[in-house]
Amino acid sequence: MTISGTNNYLNNMNTSYESNNSKTKGKDDALGRDAFLTMMVAQLQNQDPLSPMDGTEFSSQLAQFSQLEQLLNLNETMTSLKASFDDNSTRDVTGYIGKEVVGNVDSMSIKNGTASEGFYTLAKPGEVRAQIYDSKGKLIKTLYLGQQNMGEHSIKWDGTDSSGATVSDGTYTYSVDADMGYGFEKVATTVTGIVEGVVYSGDKPFLVVDGVWVNPDSLVQVRAGKDSNDSSILDYLGKNITSSSPLVQVKNSDVQGSDLSFELSKKDSVIIGIYNSSNELIRTIGIAAADTTKGANSVNWDGRDNDGKKVKDGIYSYDAVTPSGNADIKVTDHVSGIKSIAGTRFLVLDATGRLALASSITNVN
């Protein structure tokens, strides 16, 4: 092969290589694969035709290039694995459920004109004020909260701005300052509580702590909870299960979920008994046989006891008794989440709004 033919071949090889690597250009450093190949090709093109490069040296340089290529590919693979690991780590937050956490928070949301709570912690007693900002960072209201003791506190906001006008629904940030004897200084805005569940906004997971969405990245402390259920409760997420003893949650004085359901083998009179967490009967609801049907039935509970008083927030159970024995109250539903209440984890049943303990499951579909 002539010298001219060799140079043409090298030129073509160099041009082809640069074309194939145009999409990745800029990712390599100054002494990456592109620079190495360019230097090697230039060396071959400019060698003395009367004293060509020694074949052994050329083979050595090719071996070096091969090693460089492998190292660069290994580096890209490790970077990809790290990104994948970090991404999966961010999403694998169900392990926090049932644990007590301390997280930084600095936002409150307005929904249907009602504001969620804010939180802050004082290292010692002080005069406190909270400043609330809109999405553009504009100060819209200052709340003077007065003298407060050391410890954790919540911020109650009526959802109005400094002129008294109700602000629109959305997310608002806040900061808290306190004068603890040395002038106003910014204090920590943290929330402490048991992680009740996990929600997603887009692809980002948030922990539900006392009804507040907490970014897992903002956690400053995680403590062991008082969880009494086995961690295998996570295996029921997304599955259809049958619970023999569905539970009712009362939250903010409202009964969560649909009416209480039961099944009868025939039309019959029924007495529904509702019990608190101490297994004390707090309400009975009688239903005449004429008002029932064979098969599925349900009854509304207004969240009041036998004295007509609103019951306390908490978990309640119920049964249905007929003259011939207990009626079937089992519920079959899709598990949409896990909720931790007072250190105990419950399965959230999607359609009925009931809760269930893993120990009450009789069938998994």
Strands 344-349 and 204-209, bridge-based pairing: unpaired
The token pair at 142 is 């200052």
CB atoms within 10 A of CB 309: 10
CB 130 within 8 A of CB 120: yes
Tell me the CA distances in angstroms from 317 to 88, 190, 352, one per residue in order. Answer: 38, 34, 14
The identity of residue 339, as a single letter, is K
| Entry pTM | 0.43
CB 239 within 8 A of CB 365: yes
The phi-psi region of residue 52 (left if phi > 0; otherwise alpha if psi is between -120 and 50; otherwise beta) is beta
Digitized pLDDT (tens) for each residue of the chain, 365 residues in all: 444 444 454 455 455 445 555 544 444 444 556 666 677 677 766 766 666 655 566 666 666 666 766 776 777 666 655 554 455 444 467 778 878 788 888 888 888 888 888 888 887 888 999 999 998 899 999 999 999 887 778 899 999 999 999 999 888 999 999 998 878 888 888 887 888 888 877 777 888 887 778 888 888 777 665 444 444 577 788 889 999 889 999 998 899 999 999 999 999 999 999 999 888 999 999 999 999 999 999 999 999 999 999 999 999 999 999 998 889 999 999 998 888 887 678 889 999 999 998 878 888 87
Rg of the chain taking only CA atoms, in angstroms: 33
